[in-house]
A and B are shown apart, each in its own frame.
Chain A
Amino acid sequence: MIRRGLPLLGPACVAGYLLTAVLAPLLIPAGRLDPVRATGPPLTPPSYRFPLGTDSAGRSVLELTLCGSRWSLLIGVTATVLAVGLGAAIALASGHFGGPGGAVLDRVVEWFVILPQLPFAVALGGVLAPGALPVLLAIAVTSWAGVARVVRAAVLAVEAEPYLERVRALGAGHVHQLRHHVLPAVRPVVLATASLTLANAVLTETTLSFLGLGDPTRVSWGSVLHDAAVTGAVTAGAWWCLLPPGLALIVLVLGFEASARLIGSIPDGRVR
């Protein structure tokens, strides 16, 4: 029974995080996280009152970690929706219609695939003010091409199926073909890729917030780590500021990846 339930650990974990993100403001009023109004002694190791210690401003690291997921998930989901939406649309267009237009689209995809994420984000950070926008753009622009590539391969596999030829022979238009045949067949691939893209998006958002490129008014795991580095908590050896946000992020990412594997293994599409 336990073995049967093990693959569900991924989605269960993700659901847990989403639940925490939604419920957190109910349990922890926003004011408590304001550095100006923090009540605890700064940089204290874990104790009974502060189970995960305090940061340099005296805020509880536990509360910061619990609330930090909200912003990271919000940005991550938004960026993923953009990237997957764009990537899947382009993949469907180039895979289904093909032709010279499809070839051009494929070229464009290839250009964006090799664009390195962090250098591009840093470049954006210099040109746009730090905030949600450069982070969103950086993630979406560097992720959509990877999605497009994977989905295109799946679309091509479906297009080669004999039953699609029959559907065309019966006079079905493009919209019908796409909606009733191609899309359902590639849905598992799109979902699995979306899960992986989301994992990467949350990782990148945290990194960018750590580098100071994110919205400075928002609490996220990255911003907690940024504060820890900038205020010298790191050089003082305050490991309790470091471990919780990072470990929380790792578990969430593993949850997304496990979910992606689970979606991929459902014998609906031939994703494997």
Chain B
Amino acid sequence: MPSSAVTASGQPGPVSNDQTFGAYARGLWSRLLAGQSGVLPVILGVILIGIIFQSQNPRFLSPENLVNLLVQGSVFMLIGMGQVFVLLLGEIDLSLGFVAGIGATVMVLLVTYAFGWPWWAAILAALAVTAAIGAVQGTLITRLRLPSFVVTLAGLLGLQGVMIQLLGTGGTIPVPDEMINNLANGTLTPMMGWILTAAAIAVYAVVTIVRHLRRHRSGLVTPPAGLTALKILAAIVAGVTLVVICNVDRGSVRFPFNGMPWVIPIVFGVLVMWSLLLGRTRFGRYIYAIGGNAEAARRAGISLPRIRTMAFVLAGMTAGIGGIIYASRLRSISTSFDGGTIVLYVVATAVIVGTSLFGGRGHPLHAVLGGVVIAAIVNGMALLGLPAAIQLMATAVVLLAAITVDVVIRRRGETTR
């Protein structure tokens, strides 16, 4: 509550405080110049990548390839959403690749005939194990104040060893459970795709409209009503486009094959859940606060070790989901799983879209969009038949270009101190 001394002259704002479109556009433009460009540059980048590859190979933007690309990127997106929690604190978790590998291994082992667990129990156990790994590493980092880089580097090495140990001499274990294989390979019926998408858009529309009306009624600065309508329209267009692309027959004449892959709602669900957690709860606010200024957070009475450890737990668990999808996509898990490379790609996905390595800035959406970018580049260059050497160098250039644009734009917006 404001102190009573202050309320005497404190005036609530005028009854209606709606911005006009012009005012909103000017505000948006000044935010862009100030470096708060959000995800706009990346969306432009994706369009540019699309144009380049499409002009070289018309199959790039075919529905078949686009769906394939999303599925390819899903593992990066999921592990990346875990990494965002840690990056927001200004820490890094190099072990997440092999944490995902451990999650996949635990799940696959438990559903094999030796154990014979049902698919859901195996998944829960895998997530519990990955969360526990996060808890152990997080505790070492926050309670003993060890640097996260070193602790998780040890995790990267040690967990690869554990994974090889668990997989045994054979080195490859196939997934005998259809349900688990379907997570990445299964598709919804076209009708189900429509229903789910319509439901998601409806929820988004209702939430957006309610929030707009509430702000409008309480006299807070409200973006123009037309913008709210525009946002909902954009969501509808995006949703319909996605379903139409997914529902095009991408099989052969003899084996028609269409529908939205299960991974799309899975990634979307995790994205919504973590966005809510980070954006709308105290826990999320404290993650950002610690990343922005840990001393200020401490003085505000926030328990730093608790929040930090929790972030590592969530990172491990989210990486576990990514590992499960990985095993599902390959219908097996093997010692050839390269968690070291995966984790570096995962850091790249988040950073390309604007998550800071120094903490305080980032969003799970960055990991998802970054996953699209990385998958598009890898997929596009594979379509063009470029050798691996060129692919790696080109990926590096894109990463450097993205981070340069991000840093240069953003630096303009901060006042020098």
Q: A and B from one assembly?
A: no
